[in-house]
Amino acid sequence: MTDSIRDSRGNRIRLVIAYDGAGFHGFARQDGLRTVQGTLEETLTRMLGTPIEVYGSGRTDKGVHARAQVVHFDVPYGPPAERMVHVLRRRLPADVMPLWADQVDNDFHARFSVVRKTYRYTLYRGAMPNLFLYRFSWHVPGELSLSAMREAAAHLVGRHDFSSFCASSASQEDKVRTIYRIDLAGADDQLAIEVEGNGFLQYMVRIIVGTLVKVGEGREVADRIPAILAAKDRSQAGETAPPHGLCLWNVEYPPEYGGKVVDPRADL
């Protein structure tokens, strides 16, 4: 055993990864299905020769991508954190990209230490689908009223019960969440919708996007959003936008853990 392996015994490693979700049945491990968590655990276990359990900042659904998913795991031995990325890049499949890693104390938890998350949903608005974007965007041709969508989004910012904007089967009893901002920004035929909050329910961002698109197309009015929230009824909101347009964009931790894991200035 080398000195570097021996010296890193017992480390808790935080790892930031990006992935193309098209080939995965979501983040969380499922028996017999290809998942991000399962792939990471299998790779780390083979690499270190001992069972490794991975904990994520949150679960992304089947087909959803990540620009900055955060995981942590405890290693009894192995390369130092700064070398972990390089080792994993040679071992993980091409649709999972380790970005960076560091050593954290045992109080850190990838999920429970999170203070904010940002999701970005991409719409492609061209008349014809784009061959090079279809895996990462929802094709919505036709005119959209961005002013109406922004007006509707403003009603969703703040602390609300989002029962109308989550899957009917969502297991959480407490459906109150805080949305800090919803921004819409367009370039050429693409429209990015960023949603930042302290936590999200199952399908929540996708239902928010589906509802904003419904408003933008004139099939719903922006000033009805407060009534939809108050109804606490999934059937009152818009459709669930397809998963492939959604990306976990950034994760933020307290200052002692470095804040946002991707520099916000690098956002497109």
Name the catalytic one among 3, 7, 20, 61.
Answer: 61
Query: What CA dihedral angle connects 243, 245, 247 and 249, to 10 degrees?
Result: -150
pLDDT tens profile 229-264: 999 999 999 999 999 999 999 999 999 999 999 987
Please name every residue paired with 246 in a beta bridge, in sequence order, or none if there are none.
121
pLDDT tens profile 211-227: 999 999 999 999 999 99
One-letter identity of residue 119? Y
Q: What is the mean pLDDT of residues 56-67?
A: 96
3, exposed or middle or buried, with CB in 10 Å at 0-12, 13-18, 19+? exposed
116-253: in CATH 3.30.70.660: yes
Q: What is the per-residue pLDDT for 102?
A: 95
Q: Is position 19 annotated in a ligand binding site?
A: no
Determine whether 95 is an active site residue: no
pLDDT grade for 4, boundaries at 50, 70 and 90? very low
Same fold, 3-104 and 116-253: yes
Structure tokens at 139: 């094709």
Reply yes or no on whether the pLDDT at 7 is more than 80: no
Q: What is the pTM of this model?
A: 0.92
Fold of the 3-104 domain: Alpha-Beta Plaits (3.30.70)
Three-class DSSP category at 215 = helix
Q: What ranges do the domains of the chain cover?
A: 3-104, 116-253
Give, rounded to a whole angstrom, the gap between the first and last alpha carbons of the chain: 44
